[in-house]
Structure 1
Amino acid sequence: MSAPEWLAAECATIAFCWRVERVDGVAIGLTSHDRDLVFDGMVHRAAPGISPSAIRRSDGLEADSMDVTGALTHDAIAERDLLAGRWDGAGVTILAVDWTDPANRVELGRGTIGAIETADGGFTAELRGATAALDAPVAELTSPECRAELGDGRCRVAMAAGRRIVRIVAAEGNRLTVDAAEPVADAYGSGRLRWLDGANSGMAAAIDRSAGADMTLRLPPRLPVRPGDRVELIQGCDKRLETCVARFANAANFRGEPFLPGIDLLTRYPGA
């Protein structure tokens, strides 16, 4: 298929545009042009701008990739948000646009943001193409623990009663105290915490264990926490059959093989 006339013109008027949608729903548009471009109801800001590297596309099964660089000079992409992980896994669309008439544009690729590096007031973000998903395993391995996530389509446990909104009373490192006690012992262990207020708003954290009104996160919050910040606590599961039966009465949907012999079978012999 031949290229559009505006791409083949002797005096090219091409600008790159980058649309990014974070997992929390925030969407922005950026451009490599020296002024803002508006199309499809979105303003693509010239600051901080972007500079994509050579885009590698293929019709094979290897993963397509490219790098995008920019300067941290706009509130939309703050360095602390990059370091906090707000942009991790964000969906990205790269376009070549005729800046004299933005109706003329060609999509160059789609993907998600992978590794992000910051240095000297700028950033470099790797864009992983759709074929990168082919690197993921396509078949599950057997395991004594359940491979489903609590409340997902395979687990089928109703989670409406397993969520609770509370406020932070105190925070120190990866330990938090909230204003309501858990319903059962270690109810939120292996669960999730979503920040609804404060500097961490929109992000989530993994809960290691809980005891009463105290929560221990697997990692400290990425940004400062203040008393009064609201969080949503989501119950967890340690993925053992015993917990599935006793707490959730959900053995019929258990996605593990707790009674399948493991490699330790090779070490068993008479007199061991």
Structure 2
Amino acid sequence: MKQIDPSLAGHIAGRATTLASCWIVRRLDGTALGFTDHDRPLAVSGTLCQPQNALSATAAKDGPGLAVGGSEIGGAISSPDLTDSDLERGLWDNARVDVYLVNWENPDQTLLLRRAIIGEVNRSGSAFTAELRGLSHLLESRQGRVFSRRCDADLGDHRCKINLSNPAYQTEALVTASAPGWVQTGPLSGYQDGWFTGGRLTVLDGAISGFASEIALEQAGTAGPVFSLFEATPAALDAGTRIRVRAGCDKMLATCRSKFANHLNFQGFPHMPGADFVLSYPNSNTGRNDGSPLVD
């Protein structure tokens, strides 16, 4: 149960109140930003919450036990701290939000109502709505390892151990042409066709610097490779924009051995029996009930 400041409790119990809502958002890049539905800036928990036109929130919904609760916050993209470009680049994805009730006449009187994580963000013109997911939704995420023929490590992480700074696995290039769903660069010598399929493309400069997307497919173009992206860029990239492309991995043992020479660190279980073996059973008509393997 939340502990309320006695002075704030007394204010709420009064006949007239001066209450406002404040949201402090902490993005994964370390940026902390504050917003309020009041018409003046309010300093809450060491963060200055700026007025945001038409910012409003729906009622919070909670379920029994550890059921995931949630709500939404919506408004207009009119604050200098809340830009269309940042939303497009995913800088607000999975950001943590603290929701406060504040006495705007005395901002030291606050009550932390809930903590949440930003989920899906929807936009329509200059308006947006963001889903606020209760922290209990983290309990629904996968924990531990999954046994699979494929590797469950991420390329370059502490289990994979591949050094992605090696020029064999990533390189920088200049954009020659692009559209929201694809990017073309000049020739990339020293790399096999399809080397970057399943990899990652990151924009290094320009208006959407920091945007990244997985590469769905690398195809050979007349003037250089063409990278089809799973997530379209917010806008076409200007010619000359620097990008970084990283090699792809299909997480199979053969690829780990031939492409990365890293099969000793392979984090999958390639010799697991398949469905045919699991579903097999002794059959008197086979004439092979002699203790030999059921599946060759």
1:236 aligned partner: 248
SS in 1 for 2:81: helix
Q: CA deviation at 1:89?
A: 2.2
Could you list the runs of 5+ residues in structure 2 that have no partner in the other structure? 287-296
Match of 1:92 among 78, 90, 97: 97
Count of residues in Structure 1 that have an aligned counterpart in Structure 2:
272
Per the alignment, do residues 173 and 222 of structure 1 end up closer, same or farther by CA in structure 2, a change over 3 Å counting?
Answer: closer
Instruction: Tell whether the 8 Å contact from 2:202 to 2:211 is kept in structure 1 after alignment.
Output: yes
SS in 2 for 1:112: strand
Match of 1:198 among 176, 184, 206: 206
2:271 aligned partner: 259
CA distance in 1, matches of 2:76, 2:146: 43
1:208 aligned partner: 216
RMSD, aligned CA: 3.0
- The Cα offsets for residues 97-117 of structure 1, whole Å up to 9 and x where unpaired, read as 222232332322222211223
Instruction: Tell whether the 8 Å contact from 2:21 to 2:37 is kept in structure 1 after alignment.
Output: yes
The residue type paired with residue 74 of structure 1 is: S
Instruction: Tell whether the 8 Å contact from 1:30 to 1:46 is kept in structure 2 after alignment.
Output: yes
- The Cα offsets for residues 16-43 of structure 1, whole Å up to 9 and x where unpaired, read as 1112233444442110112122345543
CA distance in 2, matches of 1:243, 1:143: 16
| Residues 1:6 and 2:8 are matched in the alignment | yes
1:143 aligned partner: 148
Q: CA deviation at 1:139?
A: 4.4
Instruction: Tell whether the 8 Å contact from 2:151 to 2:268 is kept in structure 1 after alignment.
Output: yes
TM-score, with structure 1 as normaliser: 0.85
The residue type paired with residue 188 of structure 1 is: F
1:67 aligned partner: 72
Could you list the runs of 5+ residues in structure 1 that have no partner in the other structure? none
- The Cα offsets for residues 171-228 of structure 1, whole Å up to 9 and x where unpaired, read as 1453322245154323322111111222322221111233574123234323221111
- The Cα offsets for residues 111-138 of structure 1, whole Å up to 9 and x where unpaired, read as 2211223347532211112211111233
Residues 95-114 of structure 1: pairs in structure 2 closer than 5 A: 95-114=100-119
Per the alignment, do residues 25 and 247 of structure 1 end up closer, same or farther by CA in structure 2, a change over 3 Å counting?
Answer: same
Match of 1:245 among 257, 270, 276: 257
- What is the aligned-residue identity percentage? 31
SS in 2 for 1:225: coil
Per the alignment, do residues 21 and 166 of structure 1 end up closer, same or farther by CA in structure 2, a change over 3 Å counting?
Answer: farther
Instruction: Tell whether the 8 Å contact from 2:42 to 2:107 is kept in structure 1 after alignment.
Output: yes
Per the alignment, do residues 172 and 13 of structure 1 end up closer, same or farther by CA in structure 2, a change over 3 Å counting?
Answer: closer
